[in-house]
Structure 1
């Protein structure tokens, strides 16, 4: 069992910059939780505090009820995989992976057995004698992962480990890492700014902004039920339209959507896949451009005031640039003062 508890943790750097602001989080045994947010949101600082590379200004961090807040990194039951790999170029693969076990004073035979086992697990069986410069970027990242896993940590920490890799390799490695994590049932905290990685890998996503949590939930809930305009705009593609609700309808540049909410300013949020189009002249919007991706098309729309929206179309060839269309949202969310005030989903 390995449960990570972060209680009311803050980190204020010299000069007064607050990187993490009174944040609490619990990661359950065997769970993979992803910290997702833009640069400067505090996600990497939080991860480094769990790993012991930064000390909290206030708050406590526990692993299985044991307070590790003031422990040095090497004393913690954690292991971190860095974005930069942090491998020793003068050592071969075997020595890189075995380094931590040798510091623990394990017998040579046990070290060899453990290292060979973990190299096979990450797809590098037979690579022990190779030097780091002889490996591709993806293979180097596998070595970094193996070096962490061989220590059998209670908590695995991943700090944007795929950021420097190309898209296809990134997709393949994240599938492999997820498979390994589920097979070992190791509690994992994963930092990324890539929403696709968070949606495809995480049991839960923590969306961070300015050192605080905007929303915590399962990937499907965060995608389909974003609680704030920030989360709505950060996760996936979202049409966010500022306007007014007057006499029971949201209005903006020719758009009129009936809504059972009080009058006042509001933000209408509609996913492209939930925005249907009906040919109409002159229409609420005009087709600006159509991009055919084979499996679907993305239709760029323009309102009368220049506002741009997107719609996903299964038959993009049925539309043409300059055509007038009316907008029919099948699912929408309405925000006011950065909080959800109404949600409607229908077929």
Structure 2
């Protein structure tokens, strides 16, 4: 369908910088999620792609054509907003047909295109209903159909499911992904929900303070975060502050081997990489709480220094409050000044004997 290129795009509002020198290449048919906390610049970036905001610097190109200064109606993009932005005085058919009428398309062609769009989003037969007669999920489907009926080269979705309940969000995002793959349309999806990004995206761009922290496939974002911010923003992550000394992270429970210069550092470990075993004697760790999720247990472990870790273990294990335990880790990352300085995916039991002796 289309290839999108953003080259050092910036946007300032007075002295406030919403987006700073942002560059990204989106391939034909790719679905990219812009993920980040509120105020990270992701919606501003999407609006600049759609022409609803003008960049203060940089360029936006679609299929090699510079569209930076083109108004929204002259860009080959379709945008779906969080608020639906439907006209309540029009029925569903008229809402979807509006853009086609502005283009002067014959009535018969408009009717065919609208019916096809309604079928695509699962609302066949809803054309005569007023938009206020629809549920929130149905209204969002109408908003999607209104964009798709114009056959845009690039689809832009700005947190379209934020106002819906969890089960409806999950169902609609699956439907949107199916439609996107069926049409092969290049898509950018803005969200602050990590589960949404992990479920939808071919690639995730994690944003903070108007810049990209990391852009990669979902599994790489989760398993190989490049910054401490990304590690903490995606999924559940445990952080332990400490010092690197002579090739080891100096901590009474986690003196793991690291190839990094001496100095302060933060050890990052996923819950599934922490093994919790009952301690034979008193230890520096005890169970604060164990929560049974059916498929697994999440065990909150308190260290004597005030640090609380989350570990994932199999269901059915006897983990009671106050029990002394020994946590061990099998995979970890090490960060300094927000950047990755070391990563190990080697299980602890396979590490070198000299390390085990040192530990």
Sort the TM-score into its range (normalised by shorter chain).
over 0.9
Would the aligned equivalents of 2:294 and 2:315 in 1 still touch at CA under 8 Å?
no
Tell me what 1:257 maps to. Answer: 256
- Quote the Cα distance in structure 2 between the aligned partners of 1:237 and 1:229: 12
Would the aligned equivalents of 1:4 and 1:63 in 2 still touch at CA under 8 Å?
yes
Tell me what 2:71 maps to. Answer: 72
Decide which moves more: 317-326 or 294-303: 317-326
Cα deviation digits, residues 286-308 of structure 1 (max 9, x gap) = 11000001111100011102111
Would the aligned equivalents of 2:254 and 2:329 in 1 still touch at CA under 8 Å?
no
- Quote the Cα distance in structure 2 between the aligned partners of 1:250 and 1:283: 19
Tell me what 1:33 maps to. Answer: 32
Tell me what 1:345 maps to. Answer: 345
> Aligned runs of 1:319-338 on 2, under 5 Å?
319-338=319-338
TM-score for the superposition, normalised by structure 1: 0.98
Tell me what 2:173 maps to. Answer: 174
Decide which moves more: 275-284 or 227-236: 275-284
Q: Secondary structure at the match of 2:304?
A: coil
- Quote the Cα distance in structure 1 between the aligned partners of 2:106 and 2:245: 76
1:199 to 2:198 alignment: yes
- Quote the Cα distance in structure 2 between the aligned partners of 1:31 and 1:222: 17
1:183 to 2:178 alignment: no
TM-superposed deviation, 1:253: 6.2
Q: Secondary structure at the match of 2:231?
A: helix
Gaps of 5+ in 1: none
Would the aligned equivalents of 1:298 and 1:316 in 2 still touch at CA under 8 Å?
no
TM-superposed deviation, 1:346: 2.5
- Quote the Cα distance in structure 2 between the aligned partners of 1:158 and 1:315: 39
- Quote the Cα distance in structure 1 between the aligned partners of 2:322 and 2:169: 38
Would the aligned equivalents of 1:32 and 1:188 in 2 still touch at CA under 8 Å?
yes
Q: Aligned Cα RMSD in Å?
A: 1.1
Gaps of 5+ in 2: 348-359
- Quote the Cα distance in structure 1 between the aligned partners of 2:292 and 2:341: 35
Cα deviation digits, residues 93-147 of structure 1 (max 9, x gap) = 0000000000000000000000001100100000000001110000000000000
Tell me what 1:100 maps to. Answer: 99
> Aligned runs of 1:106-185 on 2, under 5 Å?
106-185=105-184
TM-superposed deviation, 1:283: 2.4
- Quote the Cα distance in structure 1 between the aligned partners of 2:17 and 2:316: 47
Aligned length: 346
Cα deviation digits, residues 16-59 of structure 1 (max 9, x gap) = 10000000001100000010000110000000000000000010
Tell me what 2:357 maps to. Answer: none
Spell out structure 1 runs of 4+ moving beyond 6 A.
none
Q: Secondary structure at the match of 1:258?
A: coil
TM-score for the superposition, normalised by structure 2: 0.94
Tell me what 1:220 maps to. Answer: 219
- Quote the Cα distance in structure 1 between the aligned partners of 2:252 and 2:244: 13
> Aligned runs of 1:271-286 on 2, under 5 Å?
271-280=270-279, 281-286=281-286
Decide which moves more: 320-329 or 210-219: 320-329
> Aligned runs of 1:47-66 on 2, under 5 Å?
47-66=46-65
Would the aligned equivalents of 1:255 and 1:284 in 2 still touch at CA under 8 Å?
no
Q: Secondary structure at the match of 2:317?
A: helix
Q: Secondary structure at the match of 2:89?
A: coil
